[in-house]
Amino acid sequence: MAAYQLAQQALAADFAARWAEVLAAVEAREIAGSLTELEAEYTAAIRESAAASRVLSIAFYRLVRALETGRVIGGPDYRPGASLGSLWADFNKATGKRTGTGPHEQLAVDTRNPFPVEDLAHEALRAEEAFRHQVADRVAQHESEHAGQGSAELNDPELIAWEKEFLDSLKTGSTGAGGMLVQDGGRDAIHTALQDDPGAIGYFRKTDASPCYFCALMAGRGAIYKSKRTAAFGAHPHCHCQPIPIFSRRYQLPIENGRFSRMWRDFGGGSLADWRTYYSDKAPG
């Protein structure tokens, strides 16, 4: 489970590294004239990593389900004759690490496919939107500030600092939004599959090593059992949380989730803003 969360986080990091390289290759004053190329690079990088995130999450879902129920589920990449051994092999391949193995006895099969169909058009739209908000609109805004300021008012060091601040915030914003879309490739596949899989009973939130106050609160709530209307998973930019599906009451929560839940109890109640302050005082880092 930790291997899964870390592998998803690594996919977001791959995307971030690739995007950072693209940005580093463009001079600040060339950005406005390179938006078309930048958008193509941005959306392609998101697409590729989101596709990998989805493959990883499906391999993970199928493995966890088989471990907990002894049955293999159909859908993308399903191969007849699957065993715990072959499901571990698929998962290891998707993470790039060898984290487990299993026996090769053939498992019972549920032929149902609970995984959502990849909606490439919708994904492309979300990536374009992210680019527009995080890059194109900001560049336009920045350009208009430039025009309004008149270069004479800023001396060189000031101007350089201002440009650097702009580029840093552009990079942070676009990387966070892109990384969220990358991981949503996997998160959406799992969160949707749960709803459509009679074998699944719910999920819990596995956070990264230092989640924000909101995610810590959500993780501290423990398992979210499925209902007719299970709320959206609720990720945000720079969030590396994953929904971990559960198929039996014998699941084990990560120790951090227990820690967050004790923190919440000790906090004793109050507004979200109060919790935020309390959490940031107590949380490591």
| Residues that bind Zn ion in the complex, under the rule CB under 5 A | 211, 215, 239, 241
For Zn ion, give the closer residue by CB, 75 or 243.
243
Beta bridge partners of 224: 203
Q: Which amino acid does the sequence have at 31?
A: I
What's the closest the beta carbon of residue 208 comes to Zn ion, in angstroms? Answer: 7
**CB of 175: closest distance to Zn ion in angstroms?**
16
- Read off the tokens for 3: 């291997």
Cα→Cα distances 196→43, 76, 112, Å: 29, 15, 9
Least distance from Zn ion to the Cβ atom of residue 235, Å: 6
For Zn ion, the closer of residues 215 and 244 by Cβ is 215
Measuring CA to CA, which residue among 36, 92, 32 is closest to residue 59?
92
Helices within the chain (DSSP H only): 2-24, 35-69, 84-95, 120-131, 137-149, 156-196, 213-220, 255-267, 272-282
Least gap, CB of 139 to Zn ion (angstroms):
28
- Cβ closest to Zn ion, residue 7 vs residue 215: 215
CA-closest candidate to residue 15, choices 179, 164, 186, 196: 179
Largest CA distance in the chain: 76
Shortest distance in whole angstroms from residue 32 CB to Zn ion: 33
DSSP-based three-state secondary structure for 224? strand
Query: Closer to Zn ion at the Cβ: 60 or 233?
Result: 233
Cβ closer to Zn ion: 114 or 243? 243
Q: Please, which residue, 62 or 240, has the CB nearer to Zn ion? A: 240
CB 235 within 8 A of CB 241: yes
Q: At what angle do helices 272-282 and 255-267 cross, to 10 degrees?
A: 120
- The CB-of-12 to Zn ion minimum distance in angstroms stands at 12
